[in-house]
Structure 1
């Protein structure tokens, strides 16, 4: 993550940071990574295990002896609800040594020490450790999906890519269609028979290729070619995401839906169960690259890393495997 951020910082001006989808949001991070963050060279800086200081300024209460201003009857219910929320907030902020807390705030440096200037601290009351387990599962996914990917900003363009937006819309529609109908495999031409998908694809046609007047309609061959192109782009994006993959590449272009391909899940689970007990992997678990290589040799060379990661995430959610560390897995 550090190398990606450093390389991106060398090329992306600070005025364009807002185009990054992660910029300006409260990111959930390991304490270790917060401590190892590097200060920006352009703009100064305003659960792995680790210790970091958290600072929260006390809020000034109402001055004694002052009476609150009279409120209309309509506002009384809202004021009561607000008071109840404030009471709950005060109760959750009463901390003792050893409490597990959720902290949200901004990272800053004070007296050469990195700390979190927190805007909220909430005690986690969780006797069955559900919140901690959820965090252990959530953070690796966030790192893989968002934090570890460098920010890619389109150059020489100030206008949004309209064709890209339509392709993204079709991609979401196809994904929704596959889930709702429990589709296990499909050909691209089959998706071209679904009216709702075709309608979405037609929205992505370039303006100059749409009929300007009733007397001058565009050629149907040109329109169909463009629709097929939009479908190809959307399916390619789904492949890059790992949602679909091709077991056998060829002219038929049969696509398999990753979540529904149970044979792939079974093969992957068998590899992890067999190899995680070997001396080489017994301590840390099987690395993703090793699992992917075994699956490609024993199942299909068409399985990509994104597809493999999606399968592993599903197996982990079903408690069939456990991630021992980043991208290392062992059988549960």
Structure 2
């Protein structure tokens, strides 16, 4: 199948894709629609999106999907499974990588001797064997079994396939899961997927919201691309100038001039609103509130990351937190006491996410973190 592509003039600008909730979600699309989606011209196979292309369904930008269907063919290789998944509308190939636990050698067959310990004691070897068997039973499927798979879409050898980030066998003897799935997907199509993504403002209020969204993304991109650690408002003010200059003018020169804020005032007000949004999202924060208005870029603040990591390392050793780890509110309180009173929970969540992505810390459960 030759991948269909969209006219670049019809594509929404990539800077605005994040405004569509579908871009961040695993879209529950029918396989038929996944196979027929048009491919983006702007960033095909871009590394930013893990070597996957971006596709469009009704102008909604999509790069990862969620599918439930019956296995109609199966191939196993040393490192992965290939499953053909049929949801009733079409068949798509799913590349499912084996986890390390799946490929590990069973210690009971490796020739080593392990002590079972005292009668009734915890047997690590036996428990690991049970865990390995349970994992393999959920990941090795036969034809006719039900599979749920989530992950980014990729076009390989002119064929669409899903690079599974999560996959498992679904036990559904009375088809309750499939019925519930079909009802939910139908509702998602009706309320979201079949409504095109609208970017053009239809009223003055929409225009203001659009400008604010554009301005927010401009500042975010500037901070990320330039690895900015600290900045003052006047450092980024000029970046938003084109948004003020491009605002629609009066319909005709004969119209009476209307009193209103100057371009400079509009620019400062826009930046003020953008900075508030960035603080609410935790992207930036003010370490010290003073007349010198300095903002710290949260994810680029190495001192903050080190401080949070030290808190988790030290407190995870305490008996109170040894088992479950440190709760996010405890970490927030300690970070405010040790580093900055103005640190927000949203900013801390970004720090924790960054540390976890770098394997500096691990999440033991929702909102609990520890370090080994």
TM-score range, shorter chain: 0.5 to 0.7
Contact 1:56 1:119 in 2 (8 A): no
Contact 2:325 2:368 in 1 (8 A): yes
CA distance in 2, matches of 1:100, 1:283: 36
- Quote the residue 2:125 is aligned against: none
Do the aligned residues in 1 keep the contact of 2:327 with 2:369 (CA within 8 Å)? yes
Give the TM-score, by structure 1 length: 0.54
Partner of 1:168: 213
Find the partner of 1:198 among 237, 241, 249: 241
Q: 1:125 to 1:318 in 2, by over 3 A?
A: closer
CA contact (8 A) 1:321 1:330 kept: yes
Pair 1:124-2:96 in alignment = yes
Q: Structure 2: any 5+ residue segments left out of the alignment?
A: 1-19, 30-67, 103-138, 140-149, 152-164, 167-191, 193-200
Distance change (3 Å), C-alpha of 1:178 and 1:23:
closer
Q: Give the whole-Å Cα distance in 2 for the aligned partners of 1:218 and 1:129.
A: 69
Structure 2 contact 284–297 (Cα < 8 Å) conserved: yes
SS at match of 1:281: helix
Structure 1 unaligned regions, length at least 5: 1-18, 28-53, 59-89, 107-115, 140-150, 152-157
Between the aligned partners of 1:181 and 1:20, the Cα distance in structure 2 is: 26
| Alignment check: 8 A CA contact 1:55 1:117 kept | no
270, 274, 280: which one pairs with 1:230?
A: 270
**Could you tell me how far 1:224 is from its partner in structure 2?**
1.1
TM-score where L is the length of structure 2: 0.49
Task: State whether structure 2 residue 228 is matched by structure 1 residue 188.
Answer: no
1:282 aligned residue (304, 314, 322): 322
- The answer to whether residue 301 in structure 2 is matched with residue 261 in structure 1 is yes
Deviation of 1:270 after TM superposition, in Å, equals: 0.6
What pairs with 1:208-223 in structure 2 (closer than 5 Å)? 213=253, 222-223=262-263
Structure 1 residue 119, shift from structure 2 partner: 6.4
Instruction: Name the CA distance, whole Å, in 1 between partners of 2:83 and 2:254.
Output: 61
Deviation, 1:251, is 3.2
CA gap 1:101/1:288 in 2 versus in 1, 3 angstroms: farther
Measured in 1, the distance between the counterparts of 2:369 and 2:265 equals 44
Q: Does 1:25 align with 2:65?
A: no
Q: Secondary structure at the match of 1:320?
A: coil
1:211–1:217 CA contact under 8 A, matched in 2? no
CA distance in 2, matches of 1:232, 1:102: 51
The answer to which structure has the higher strand fraction is: 2
Bigger mean CA deviation after superposition, 298-307 or 235-244: 235-244
1:231 Cα deviation from its structure 2 partner: 1.0
Residue by residue, what CA displacement relative to the aligned partner does 1:112-163 show, whole Å, maximum 9, x if unpaired? Answer: xxxx999657362335469x9x99xx89xxxxxxxxxxx9xxxxxx957221
The residue that corresponds to 2:356 in the other structure is 316
Residues in 2 aligned to 1:251 and 1:211: alpha-carbon distance in whole angstroms: 42
Distance in 1 between the 2:84 and 2:338 partners? 45
Aligned Cα root-mean-square deviation (Å): 4.1
**Partners of 2:97 and 2:27 in 1: how far apart?**
25
In structure 1, C-alpha distance between the alignment counterparts of 2:82 and 2:336, rounded to whole Å: 43
CA contact (8 A) 2:327 2:368 kept: yes
Residue number in structure 2 paired with 1:240:
280
Shift of 1:313: 0.9
